[in-house]
Chain A
Amino acid sequence: MDSEFVGTLEERTARRPLRMLTIDAIGPLTMLAGVIWAIAQPYRLAILHPHGKGFYDWLAQPPLLVVAVGVFFAAVIAPGITEDLRGDDDSSG
């Protein structure tokens, strides 16, 4: 067997868990960024500092928007990708 080919396969299978880990981490890391931001600048949340805040301040609370994007990615996007990566893994060996 061509050793270069084996090497390439080994590299590919070694890289796959790292890809899964990265995809699984994107959502939680985004949520974490939003939470850290909320702790660092609580005044950017109308929910914590409601005084003098209007409708649009309640609608767009930046740290919560970041958390929402993280939740969406983790719940809707990431599971399908990791499933496909796992399926790819099973079919190749």
Chain B
Amino acid sequence: MTPPAENVHWLFATGFLLLGLLLLAEAVVGHDVWAKRRWRVFLWPSLAFGLGVLLWPVSVFFTNSTLHMIAHASWAETAMIAGAAQLGLARGKLHSRWWNVTVSVTLFVSGAAFLIHEQNPWLFSRSAFLHHALGWMLVVSSVLPLLQAVRPRVFAWNAGFAMVWITVAVLLFCDRDVAPIFGHLSPLAGGPR
């Protein structure tokens, strides 16, 4: 009944791609135009919150290791916290732009969880490579929401934040259960499938 991990990654990649495109559109037109229709303001925070909720079933059903469960649960928790904070800001219940720090924490915790729960080296398999690449990218890019909190209208920070999610989507779409990376596949990983 449980789907292969690669299928789950592709479905989440779809959500992250949409999230990235929404953020990119907001960065291009600016927040004032984006906020002209109220429902648009709630789009990406709802999507982030929803992705956090959907990570819980992943955490419950993919129990091949304790580290995986803790990693998935930490992503679920932090994504929900960030999504909820952004929903509060969109609704006007929260006012301080420093609530954006929750997004920064989400990125850092998610990146750290990727790096901690991947026990194999970069070129062990494609999956291992993607875990390392995603982990370091998220850790480094966790500075972007902080920069957005300090200078919210700078295009580079907003577009950069959008591109992070588009890149996350591309990397997740590249994932296969067992596949070589740049011609390398450890014999310990088993046959490609």
A contact residues around B28 at 8 Å (CB): 19, 22-23
- Give the B interface residue count (CB, 8 A): 22
List 10 A-B pairs, minimum CB-CB distance, nearest first: A56-B3, A56-B7, A65-B14, A60-B7, A60-B10, A84-B36, A62-B10, A69-B17, A22-B28, A62-B173
B7 to chain A, nearest CB (A): 4
B contact residues around A56 at 8 Å (CB): 3-4, 7
A84 to B40, CA, bound (A): 12
B135 to chain A, nearest CB (A): 22
Contact of B29 with A23 in the complex, beta carbons under 8 Å: yes
The 22 sampled A-B contact pairs (Cβ below 8 Å) are A23-B28, A26-B21, A57-B7, A59-B11, A62-B13, A62-B173, A65-B10, A65-B11, A65-B14, A66-B17, A66-B173, A69-B17, A72-B18, A73-B18, A73-B21, A77-B22, A77-B25, A77-B40, A81-B29, A84-B33, A85-B33, A88-B33
A59 to B4, CA, bound (A): 12
* Number of A-B residue pairs having CB atoms within 8 Å of each other in the complex: 63
A contact residues around B22 at 8 Å (CB): 77
Q: Which of A3-62 contact B (CB under 8 A)?
A: 19, 22-23, 26, 30, 56-57, 59-60, 62
Interface extent on A, as a size class? Answer: 20 to 34
Contact with A along B27-45 (1 / 0, CB 8 A): 0110001101100100100
A43 to chain B, nearest CB (A): 11
A contact residues around B144 at 8 Å (CB): none
Contact with B along A64-90 (1 / 0, CB 8 A): 011011001100011011001101100
A88 to B37, CA, bound (A): 13
Q: For residue A58, which residue of chain B has the nearest CB? A: B7
A36 to B173, CA, bound (A): 14
Q: A60-B7, A80-B40 are in contact. Are A26 and B17 (CB under 8 A)?
A: no
A11 to chain B, nearest CB (A): 14
A69 to B173, CA, bound (A): 13
B contact residues around A59 at 8 Å (CB): 3, 7, 11
A78 to B24, CA, bound (A): 12
B contact residues around A26 at 8 Å (CB): 21, 24-25
A66 to B170, CA, bound (A): 10
Residue from B14, B24, B25, B33 in contact with A68 in the complex, judged by beta carbons closer than 8 Å:
B14
A66 to B11, CA, bound (A): 10
A81 to chain B, nearest CB (A): 6
B107 to chain A, nearest CB (A): 21
| Given A59-B11, A65-B13, A69-B14, 7 additional A-B pairs, CB 8 A | A23-B28, A65-B10, A65-B17, A66-B173, A68-B14, A80-B37, A80-B40
